[in-house]
A and B are shown apart, each in its own frame.
Chain A
Amino acid sequence: MSKTEPLGGKILTRPFLFLSLLALIAAVLLLVRFVYGLGVVTNLNNGYPWGLWVALDIHVTAAIGCGGYVLAVVVYIMNKGEFHPLMRPALVGSTFAYTLASLAAFIDIGRWWNFYQIALPWNINLNSVMFEIAICMGLYTLILWIEMIPPILERFSLQKYMPAFKKSLFFIIPLGIVLPTMHQSGLGGLVVAAGDKIWPFWSTPWISLLFLVSAIIIGFSIVIFEGSMTAMGLKRPLELKEFKRLSGMLVWVLAFFLVVRFADLLYRGALGPGFQDITRSVSFLIETGLFVLPLLILIVPSFRASPRLLFLAAASCVLAGAMLRFNSLIIGYQPSAGYVYFPSLMEIMVSVGMLSVEIIAFTYIVKRFPILPKHDTAAKSEITVSPPEVPSGSAA
């Protein structure tokens, strides 16, 4: 039998209604955007053609969607089945994050009615990093929805189709690892073609690797972050034992990131020229601090056992990855003279609305579909001992 179950409970809670209102505001603003154009809703201009929607709603959201990617590696490749109970909630988070990132891309492109042109064989430009990202992200979003099939089958009592689905997994799961590896590095690779327009801190041929590794860092962290939020918001016990072990792996990834980051900065001699500008210096220091802080916390084994410190470290990692993206794409970007950019209130409200949709969707799904692991309520233990074997009914 399945070891996961719908959480149940009321859907139309107060937070749900509030978030729905935010989503509704975003929907109205998007209507304005589609009728009157990008310039009416956003502060984008020809000096800063990419703004909040690109940095936050595409780049950061896609990175936040890496929980499923990272766990797939841990569970299926490193064969650590004990993390399987974390898989489904992470997949739900990833699926909505990637769906929203794809939607954000559609909203942000100026000629949305022409979007299919990117898939026409005679238009293919293999030199374009953007082409690779678009195709890989689109495919991976599809893969994520395919990986969501098991809870849907269980929800509607269609388990008889499960064996057929499980047969496809040996291909679906590896593809779901290769595609994010490709486009998460590609998202950083976008920066290379802009050359000197990017401030020295972020103008490196290694930016692809930095984006990929930071996406993996965010992937680990978002599992812990979302798990902590779910535990708090939905009043469930925390999977502390698993989080402790995940954060032990995260330490190595964080250390690797910082070694590559500073080896590159020193090799290029980028620190001297980099610190010539106060805004970018401050921004760089914040970014670096946010990467260093979780390393300092998580390197201490006893700190890894503290839900509070785990949450702080995870949140710091997510913010660090977000800063790297904002810095590489907006703050470290040098337009021609005379252009300034700060997102408009309407632009921000659209981003807020998109985030609200993700939370609404996640809450609804875990309440109505078998996503979260079954908990023995009688045990009331804060530390959950996960079942030793992988549940037979849950494939992903």
Chain B
Amino acid sequence: MDIKRRDFLKAAMAGSAAAALPGAAEARPNLEPPPNAVGMLYDATLCIGCKACMVGCKEANDMPIENADASPIWDVAADTSGKTLNIIKLYRDGTAEQKDRETDGFSFVKRHCMHCVDPGCVSVCPTTAMRKDPETGVVTHHPEACIGCRYCVWACPYNIPKWDFEEAFGQIAKCEFCNHRLVEGQLPGCVESCPTGASLFGTREQMLAEAKKRLAQEPGSEYDYPRYTLEAEDTHVQEVPHYIDHVYGESQGGGTQVMVLSGVPFSKLDLPLIPERAFAATSETIQHTVYKGFVAPLALLGGLMFITRRNMKKEEETESAKDESGNG
């Protein structure tokens, strides 16, 4: 009996030792931004909450209006949803006297896909219905391959992909950086309709540099804020606000291609303070450690086959011995 137990433990260890050691093998590092990564900079201090970007988004993507609070007049969404890809939300505190101030102040925030450098939705999708463009880094969704398991909705750290629960034959909806417009050389719908340059389009490198430039300005001094793109030569002078000294999206979860500047802490704007290591990287490290070359499962299978076969043979021998002695 003891020998058998040892056999069992040996076979079990082949599988479970590998299954049990997250991080034992080489960890998968965060992905790097693609060579021609597009970028967007949303500066909440410039945003006046006019929601023109929401209208622009709906037009550009041909999305229906939505009445989350049953208001008869307005297109009012409560959150990004199966029908709304981009939304302006409001943070307010106390008397909400002053813009871009945490206490007794308020701030707008624009929420849509952050186009992660190392996107969780792409990592978790069982059918590769979520894809990241190897050139531009735009994260697109392909409903023709989607089975509607909603793992992307569940796992996205920014809660962006949305399932349309109202539809019988629904699909996932998410901002795709107006990819269909980018390929035609046009701006994303939200950027094109932004009157203050709160949403700015460029390469990720450009946007990161511009964001850092703004953070380096003296609060209260004057700064030439560009609209649409850095090259559009359409600027307006504004007083530099008290920024939170951090470019949101430079490093969060491995970095994002949409980056945010704000005068109030990012956690107040529904932007989670996630660690630098992408959750996708952790998940894939464990997965690929356990299943590296599919060795562990095959070794386990082989070991178990050997033991099963031997045990079954023994059992047959015992039985035939019994048959002979007239005992069976």
Q: Which of B290-315 contact A (CB under 8 A)?
A: 290-291, 297, 300-301, 304-305, 307-309, 311-312, 314-315
Beta-carbon contact of A130 and B157 below 8 Å? no
Q: Chain A interface residue count: which class?
A: 35 or more
Decide: A109 near B149, CB < 8 A? Known: A124-B128, A128-B126.
yes
Q: Which of A323-378 contact B (CB under 8 A)?
A: 333, 335-338
Beta-carbon contact of A171 and B305 below 8 Å? yes
Q: Chain B interface residue count: which class?
A: 35 or more
- Pick the interface stretch among A76-84, A232-240, A277-285: A76-84
Produce 1/0 per residue, A20-62, CB < 8 A to B: 0000000000000011111100101111011000000000000
Q: Which of B14-57 contact A (CB under 8 A)?
A: 15-16, 19-20, 22-23
- Cα of A285 to Cα of B304 in the assembled complex, Å: 37
Q: Which of B151-183 contact A (CB under 8 A)?
A: 151, 153-155, 157, 159, 162-163, 165-171
Q: Tell me what chain A mostly uses at the interface: helix, strand, loop, or mixed.
A: helix
Beta-carbon contact of A129 and B283 below 8 Å? yes
Beta-carbon contact of B147 and A115 below 8 Å? yes
Check if A13 is an interface residue, CB within 8 A of chain B. Answer: no
Contacts of B153 in A (CB 8 A): 46, 49
B87 CB → nearest A CB, Å: 12
- Cα of A393 to Cα of B283 in the assembled complex, Å: 45
- Cα of A395 to Cα of B311 in the assembled complex, Å: 13
Check if A212 is an interface residue, CB within 8 A of chain B. Answer: yes
- Cα of A390 to Cα of B171 in the assembled complex, Å: 53
> Which among A114, A120, A125 is the interface contact of B125 at CB below 8 angstroms?
A125
Beta-carbon contact of A110 and B150 below 8 Å? yes
Beta-carbon contact of B165 and A37 below 8 Å? yes
- Pick the interface stretch among A191-199, A288-296, A306-314: A191-199
> Which among B11, B125, B282, B309 is the interface contact of A192 at CB below 8 angstroms?
B282
Beta-carbon contact of B170 and A194 below 8 Å? no
Which chain A residue has the least Cβ–Cβ distance from B310? A79
A53 CB → nearest B CB, Å: 11
Check if B5 is an interface residue, CB within 8 A of chain A. Answer: yes
A213 CB → nearest B CB, Å: 9
- Cα of A174 to Cα of B274 in the assembled complex, Å: 42
> Which among A109, A208, A389 is the interface contact of B148 at CB below 8 angstroms?
A109
- Cα of A320 to Cα of B168 in the assembled complex, Å: 35
Contacts of A177 in B (CB 8 A): 300, 304
- Cα of A189 to Cα of B144 in the assembled complex, Å: 26
Q: Which of A186-233 contact B (CB under 8 A)?
A: 189-190, 192-197, 205-206, 208-209, 212
Check if A73 is an interface residue, CB within 8 A of chain B. Answer: yes
Beta-carbon contact of A110 and B319 below 8 Å? no
Decide: A338 near B283, CB < 8 A? Known: A117-B147, A125-B126, A130-B124.
no
Which chain A residue has the least Cβ–Cβ distance from B173? A46
Check if B284 is an interface residue, CB within 8 A of chain A. Answer: yes
Beta-carbon contact of B287 and A196 below 8 Å? no
Decide: A125 near B8, CB < 8 A? Known: A109-B148, A392-B319.
no
Beta-carbon contact of B145 and A178 below 8 Å? no
Produce 1/0 per residue, A151-189, CB < 8 A to B: 000000000000000000111011101100110010001
A95 CB → nearest B CB, Å: 20
Beta-carbon contact of B126 and A170 below 8 Å? no
Contacts of B15 in A (CB 8 A): 178, 181
Check if B127 is an interface residue, CB within 8 A of chain A. Answer: yes
Check if A123 is an interface residue, CB within 8 A of chain B. Answer: yes
Check if B81 is an interface residue, CB within 8 A of chain A. Answer: yes
- Cα of A190 to Cα of B318 in the assembled complex, Å: 45
Check if A5 is an interface residue, CB within 8 A of chain B. Answer: no
- Cα of A209 to Cα of B24 in the assembled complex, Å: 15
Beta-carbon contact of B165 and A46 below 8 Å? yes
Beta-carbon contact of B315 and A390 below 8 Å? yes
Contacts of A392 in B (CB 8 A): 319, 328
Contacts of A337 in B (CB 8 A): 270
Check if A127 is an interface residue, CB within 8 A of chain B. Answer: yes
Which chain B residue has the least Cβ–Cβ distance from A32? B168
Contacts of B288 in A (CB 8 A): 126-127
Check if B249 is an interface residue, CB within 8 A of chain A. Answer: no
Check if B143 is an interface residue, CB within 8 A of chain A. Answer: yes
Contacts of B315 in A (CB 8 A): 81, 389-390
Beta-carbon contact of A130 and B126 below 8 Å? yes
Check if A112 is an interface residue, CB within 8 A of chain B. Answer: yes
Contacts of B20 in A (CB 8 A): 206, 209
Decide: A389 near B147, CB < 8 A? Known: A46-B79, A193-B280.
no
Contacts of A109 in B (CB 8 A): 147-149
A318 CB → nearest B CB, Å: 22
Beta-carbon contact of A45 and B165 below 8 Å? yes
- Cα of A237 to Cα of B195 in the assembled complex, Å: 80
Check if B123 is an interface residue, CB within 8 A of chain A. Answer: yes
> Which among A77, A130, A181 is the interface contact of B151 at CB below 8 angstroms?
A130
Beta-carbon contact of B143 and A77 below 8 Å? no
Contacts of B155 in A (CB 8 A): 193-195, 197
A277 CB → nearest B CB, Å: 16
- Cα of A134 to Cα of B127 in the assembled complex, Å: 11
- Cα of A50 to Cα of B149 in the assembled complex, Å: 9
Beta-carbon contact of B284 and A127 below 8 Å? yes
> Which among B123, B145, B157 is the interface contact of A196 at CB below 8 angstroms?
B157
Check if B286 is an interface residue, CB within 8 A of chain A. Answer: yes
B interface, CB within 8 angstroms of A:
4-5, 7-8, 11, 15-16, 19-20, 22-23, 78-79, 81-82, 120, 123-129, 143-151, 153-155, 157, 159, 162-163, 165-171, 253, 270, 272, 274-275, 279-280, 282-284, 286-288, 290-291, 297, 300-301, 304-305, 307-309, 311-312, 314-315, 318-319, 322, 328
Given contacts A77-B307, A194-B279, A336-B79, 5 further A-B contacts (CB under 8 A): A46-B159, A47-B159, A118-B126, A124-B128, A170-B312
Q: Could you pull out 5 A-B pairs where Cβ atoms are within 8 angstroms?
A: A34-B168, A126-B288, A178-B15, A195-B274, A389-B319
The 4 closest A-B pairs by CB, nearest first: A110-B148, A39-B165, A195-B279, A174-B304
